[in-house]
A and B are shown apart, each in its own frame.
Chain A
Amino acid sequence: MINFTLFSTYSNEFIQGTLLTLKIASIGCLIGITGGILLALIQTNIKGPFSWLVAIYTTIIRGTPMLIQIMFVYFLLPELGLKLSDVWSAIIAIGLNSSAYVSQIIRSGINTVGTGQREAAYVLGLTHFQTIRFIILPQAIRAVLPALGNELITLIKDTSLASTIGVMELSKRAYFVQTRTFDVLGVYGIVAAIYLVITSVLSLLVYYLEQRMNRNVTRS
C-alpha cells in the first residue's frame, strides 16, 4: 500500500511539507479559535449593528469557497497596500475562514447555557467579564468540543488549498514528487497516511480534552 522506497527517496519533501502544513494549521487554528470566540461573544452579548456586522461576515465567509478566499487575500490585499508572504496569505485566509465557522459553533454552545446562570452570576456580584470567563465560556466550550474538533480536522485538510498559491505544504510537495516520479498513486498513498496520522492525533487530543472537561460533570 505504502511505497517506502519512494518515501525514503523523497523523505525531505514529505517532512518539509508536513511541517509547513502543521504550521499553517496551528496558526490558522489559533486565529480561528480566538477570532471565533470573539465573534460569538459579540453576537451573543451585544445587540445591534456590531452583531449585524458579524452576521454579515459569517454569511460571506461561510457562503464562499475557501479557494476564492485564499485567492482574494493573495491578490487583493497587496492592492490595498498590505503585502503578506505566500504562507501568511494562506494562514490569514484559513484563519479568517475558520473563525466564521468556529463563531457559530461557540455561539450554539453559549446558547445552551441557561439565562438563569447568567442572572445568578450577576446576583453573586460577578462582573460581565467574569461571568463570561468563568461561567458561560467553560460550559459553552465543553458542550461544543466535539463539533470544534470536527472543525479543526476540516481545517487541517483545508490547508491543502494553500497549494493553489504555490505554498509548498504537504499536498503541493506531493504534487512536486509526482511530477518528478510520475508515480501518482504511490505519492497519494504516502500523503493520505500522513494526513491520517495528523488528524488521528488531533482526534485523540480532542477526546482526551473531552474526558478532562467532563470529569466533574454529573448529568442530570
Chain B
Amino acid sequence: MNYGLQLLLITLGFGSITFWIYQRKSQVPNTDMTRIIVGTNAEYPPFSFKDHDGEIVGFDIDIVKEVGKRLNRTIVLQDMSFTMLLPKLQSGSLQIVATGASPSPEREKQVFFTKPYLMNDPLVIITRADHAPLKTVADLTGQEVIVNDGFTADLYLSAFTGPIIKRLPTVADAFLTLISQRADAFVSARTSIEPFFEHADRSKFTICQLPDITDSYVLLVSRKFPELLARVQQALDAMEQDGTIATIKQKWNLS
C-alpha cells in the first residue's frame, strides 16, 4: 500500500471514531419521565447489599424507593462498582446513586448531593480482643489501621501522620485482614460494621468510639438533572417530616 492510501485510511478511521464519540456525547441522557435509573454498589450493608435471594436491599434502597413512589416514578436499580457508578452518573445514564455515600466539598464539583438523611453516625476503632485496646487517634500512632477506600474514616485519618493506613475496599475485606492479624485496628462508621456482627462473635473484638467525628449519608444526583435534585430533596424533606425516614431507620436498626 502506498503512503497516500495508508494516510487516507488512518484519517478516515480517526475521523469516524471522533464523530462517534461526538454523537454519543450529544446524545440526550435518560429523559424517560416514568423511570429513575438508580445506581448502587450492593456491597455495603446495611445501606445497599444483596439478600439471600440476590435482591438488592438496604436502607438507602428503601429511601430511594420511597422517593420514587412519591415522585410517581419507577425505580430501576443497577448494581455496579464504584468506579463505574460515577462516570455513569456524570454522563446522565444514571440519575441517582444510592450507596451510603458521604458528602464533601471537593466531591461536589462532580455530582449533586441531597441533604443528609442519616447523620451523627459515630466512627469507631475496632481491635481484636487480644490486642491492647486503642481508644483515640493518638493511640493509633505507629499502628497499622484499616479503613475502607474513600469512606469518612479514610478521609478523616488520612489527615493524620501517625497511623499507618491500609485502605481496603469492603468491610468484609477489613475484618478478614484484621482477624488474620495483618493489621492492628479497623476504623469505620458504626452503622457499617453492625451487620458483620450478625454472623460474628462480638466478644472477639474491642470497639471504641472516636469523639470528634461522625459520618453522614446522602444521595448523589447527576449534575445533568438539576430539577430532579430539587424534587428528590422535596420528597426527602417530606419523608423526614412525616416520619417515613424514621420508620425506615427503625426497620434497619439505625438511630
Residues of A within 8 A of B (CB): 74-75, 78, 86, 166, 168, 172, 175-176, 178-185, 188
Contact = CB atoms under 8 A, between A and B. Distances in A.
Contact of A176 (B83, B149, B168): B149
Contacts of B176: 75
Interface string B75-108: 0000000110011001000000000000010110
B109 interface: yes
Interface of B: 82-83, 86-87, 90, 104, 106-107, 109-111, 146, 149-150, 154-155, 166-168, 176-177, 180-182
B144 to A, nearest CB: 9
Contact of A175 (B83, B146, B155, B180): B83
A78 B166 contact: no
Given A179-B82, A182-B110, 13 more contacts: A75-B176, A75-B182, A78-B180, A86-B166, A172-B167, A175-B167, A176-B150, A178-B83, A181-B110, A182-B86, A182-B106, A184-B87, A184-B90
B106 A180 contact: yes
Contact of B83 (A74, A78, A166, A184): A184
5 contacts: A181-B109, A182-B106, A182-B109, A182-B111, A184-B86
Contacts, number: 56
B30 to A, nearest CB: 19
Contacts of B177: 166
B150 A183 contact: no
Nearest to B85: A184
B229 to A, nearest CB: 15
A179 B90 CA distance: 15
Contact of B167 (A75, A176, A181, A182): A176
Nearest to B174: A166
A166 B110 CA distance: 26
